[in-house]
Chains A and B, each alone.
Chain A
Amino acid sequence: MVMRIDCKGLYYRKQNKIIRNAAEEGETEFILDNANGQRYIGSGISKKIKITVNGVPGNDLAMFMNGPTIIVNANAQDGVANTMNAGELIVHGSAGDVIGYGMRGGKLYVQGNVGYRAGIHAKEYKKQVPIIIAGGVAGDFCGEYMAGGILVLLGLNRSEGEPIAGNYLGTGMHGGVIYIRGEVDEYTLGKEVSVLPLDSKDMKVLTKHLKEYCGHFGLDLDEIMAEPFIKLQPVSSRPYGSLYAY
C-alpha cells in the first residue's frame, strides 16, 4: 500500500507525525504531494520506508535519518542529510547549503548543484561510509573539515569558465576523499589537501557509485567517465597535531 499525503498547507509537525505513526504501523511507502517547505521530512526514522516528495521539501530533510529512501522531484533546501546515518536520498534538482553535514552513512545523490559547505565534517567508521554525489558545481567550503566519506563533483552543464567548486575546497580536511571531474585552481584549495591522480582502486569505487547515480538520473556512465577526474585527499589525518606546545 502507498500512503498519499496532500501537504498543501500542512504543518510539518503534523505531517511528520502522520509519517512516523504510519511507518510504525507497517506502512512502507509514502507519496507527499504539494510539499512546500515542510522541514525534517524523514528525520530520525529508522525504518526502511520509501518517501517520494513532489514539491520542494524544507530544511533538514532526512536529518538523523537511519534507513529510509527519499526521492525529491524538485530542488531541495538547506541541511539535506544533516547528521544522516543510513538510507538514500535522490534529489532531482539542486540542493542548498550545508548538505551532508556530519553525515556518516548512506547516499546523497543530487542531480544539479549544491550550495556552500557541502559534505562538511562528513565522517566514516569502518564499512559505514557516506557517499555524496552532485552532478553540478559546489559553493565555497566544499568538504570542509571532512573526516571521512566520499564526495564527488561532476560539474555537468557548466557555463563556460564556471569553476566546479568554490574557494576553500577541503579546508581542514583530515579524512575521506573528494573526486572531481575536471580541474580545480590550486589557490581554491585548503592547505590541508593535495591533488592526486586516481589509481585503479579509486576508479573501481568511482565507477561503482557513478553507475548507480547514472541509473537514477538517466545519464550515460561512459560519457561521464570519458572526462578525467582528479582526487583530493588530506595530507594528514592529524592536521593540527603540531599546533600545541605540550
Chain B
Amino acid sequence: MHYIWKEWKENIRGKGIWLSLSIIVLISIAILFRSSALSFDKGFYVLLINLFDTIIYFIPILCLFIGAFSIFQEKEQKTLIMLLTKTDSFGSFLIKKSLGLYAVVLVPLITWFFIYLFLLKFNFHLDIKGYFIFVAAIVCMSLVFLQIGAAIGSFSRSRMQILGFTIFVWFYFFFLHDFILLSFLPDVTHENVKLFSSVYFLNPLQAIRMFLETGTGVYSFGHMSRLLQAFMWTKPVFFLLGNLLFWLITSFLTAIVFNRKEGYE
C-alpha cells in the first residue's frame, strides 16, 4: 500500500501524468464533437470504435514511457539500491512498483471515462455493457503497455535507450507484427491456422480490438468461412486474457532476468 501511496503522490505532483491524461481528454472531447451529428440510436457504437481507433495510438506509447521512466528513475536516483539492500528482492519490488503504476494510471483514466459517460448520455442512447467492454479494453491495453514499459526501464541503462526501445515496441505492434504475419499469409492452411491465429493475437492491439468489436456487436461471427472459424478457435475474451497473461508474465520475467542495476545518463 505504501508503494501505491508513494507512486500516487510522486505522480500527481509531476507533469507527466497530467499531460498524458489531458491528451486523452482532448481526444475524447474532440471525437464527441465530431460524432454529434451521428444518430441517437447507433451513434454510440460508432463513437466508441472511432475513439478507440484514435486513442490506441496514444495510450500504448504513454504507458510505455510512464512505466519505463518510472523504473529507470528508481535506478538513477539510487532509491532502488537502497530498497534492495534490505528485505526486498527485485521481484517483490517490481510487483509493488507495478501495482503503484497501475493505480496511478488507471484511477485517473477510469475516472475520466466515468465522467465521459455522462457527456455521452446527452447525445446518444447508451449501452452500458458496451461501454464497460470499451473501458475494460482500455484498462487491458494500459496494463500490458505499462508492464512492457517497466521491463524497458529495467534493462535500459540510459534515457536514450528507453526512447529507442519504446519507439521500437510501439512501431513493432502497430506495423511490424502484422507486416511479418502478412508474409506468412499465403502458407496458412486449415491445419496451421490455429498457430497463425495464436501468433496474430499475441499482438495486444489485435486481441483488444477483436474483444471490443465483437463485445460491442460491431463485428459479428455469423457467416464465417471454415478457415475463419478455425482462426477464431476460442472466444475473443480468452484471446484477450491469454494475451494479457502472456505479456504481463513475459514482461515481468524479462524485467527480472535482464535487469541492469545502475542507471546513468
Say whether A associates with B: no
Chain A residues within CB distance 8 Å of chain B: none
